[in-house]
Amino acid sequence: MQDDGSASDGSPDEAGTAAARADDEQFVRDCYRVILQREVDPGGLAHWVEFLAQGNWRKRVVQALVAGEEFATLGSETLRVRLHRSRCDWISSLPDAATVLDIGGSSPTHPEGAMFQMGWERAPGLMTIVDRPPDDQYHGRPRYSQDAPFRTEWGGEVRYVHAAAEDLVTSGVLDDQRFDAIFMGQVIEHLEPSAIPGILRWIRERLAPGGWFALDTPNRAVTVLQTPAAFTDPDHTWEFRANELAALLLDAGLRIESRAGLMPMPRSVEVGRWEPEETYLLPTVSRDPTTGYCLAFLTRAG
C-alpha cells in the first residue's frame, strides 16, 4: 500500500504530544469532579483540552470553572465541603485514646459526637462531651437525648456534660478526672479571649501521663483575605494567627508535637488576595499551618 503521508510516523515528538494531551484530559476530568461535582461532558472536555494545547495555564481552567454560572449554584457550599474534608482528613489522623474529653463536641445528628462524625475511627472506653445545654448549642438542638450516658456499638460509653467551656475552670465538674485525649474542634475562636489562657492550663492539668490535646481553628492570616473587615462568623471573638496560638499553647505548658494547615492556600497568602480556586489544586492538609485556612495543632503536656 502506498503511503500518502497521513499516517503517524511514531516520532518522539508525536508520542510526547499524545501523552501531554492524555494528561490534560485527566486534569480536566478531575477539575469537573472536584469543582462541579460531576463528570465532564464531551464538549467541555474537548474545549478545555484544546485550550490547554494552545499553551494556557491549568490554573485558568480552574479559575474559569469557579467563576462560571454552574459553580455559582454550588460556590460557597462547595468551598465549605472542601474545608470539611480537610478537617475530616486531619481529625481521622489523630492518635488513639482510651478516655476522651471533647469540649464543644456535640453533634446535632450523631449521638457519639462530632469527632466520630468527622472521621475519628477509634474505640475509646469513655467519651465525655462537654457542650452548652441542648437549647443553646451552636448547631441547634440535637435530635436525640443527651440526658443519660449510653453504650456505643463498639462497647464504649458516651456521656454529656452541659456547661460552657469557660465554666470548666471554676465549676469543678471534671476536676477529679484525667483523660488520655482532649479535643477542641472549632471552639477556641468562640471563647472569651481573657478566659483562654486559664482554659488551656486547665486542659493541660486534666491530661493523663502521655495524653494529648488537639484543636483546630480558623487562621486569620487567610480569613482576613476573605473577610477583611470582620471575622468569618459573627460569633467569633477572635481568629488567631499561627504564632499567636502557638504562644498560648506553650505558655499553658503544652508541648507542640505537630502543626498543620487545613485547606492550604499558600498562593493567596503570598499575593495577599483571596483566590478560592487554589483550594482545589492542593492536598487537603499541609505541614505549614501559616497558609492553611484553619490552624491545627497536636500537643502533649510539657
Give residue-wise pLDDT tens across range 134-151: 999 998 999 999 999 999
Residue 97 near residue 180 (C-beta atoms within 8 A)? yes
> For the chain, how long is the longest CA-to-CA vector?
94
Residue 132 near residue 163 (C-beta atoms within 8 A)? yes
> What are the respective helix, strand and coil percentages of the chain, to the nearest 5?
45, 20, 35
Note whether residue 292 is domain-resident. Answer: yes
Res. 164: pLDDT tops 50? yes
pTM reported for the whole predicted model: 0.78
Task: Tell me what the mean pLDDT of segment 44-69 comes to.
Answer: 89
- Domain identity same for 83 and 144: yes
151 dihedral zone (left: phi>0; alpha: psi -120 to 50; beta): beta
Q: Among residues 188, 211, 220, which one has the least CA distance to residue 289?
A: 220
The three cell numbers of residue 202 are 486547665
**pLDDT value of position 196:** 98
Q: 16-48: buried (b, 16+ CB within 10 Å) or exposed (e) per residue?
A: eeeeeeeebbebbeebbebbbeeebeeebbeeb
- Domain identity same for 166 and 292: yes
Q: 80 or 147: which carries more pLDDT confidence?
A: 147
- Domain identity same for 99 and 200: yes
275-287 pLDDT, tens per residue?
Answer: 888 887 789 999 9
- Domain identity same for 141 and 208: yes
Note whether residue 160 is domain-resident. Answer: yes
Structural domain span for residue 271: 76-301
Q: What pLDDT band is residue 76 in, cutting at 50, 70 and 90?
A: low
Domain stops at, among 73, 102, 124: 73
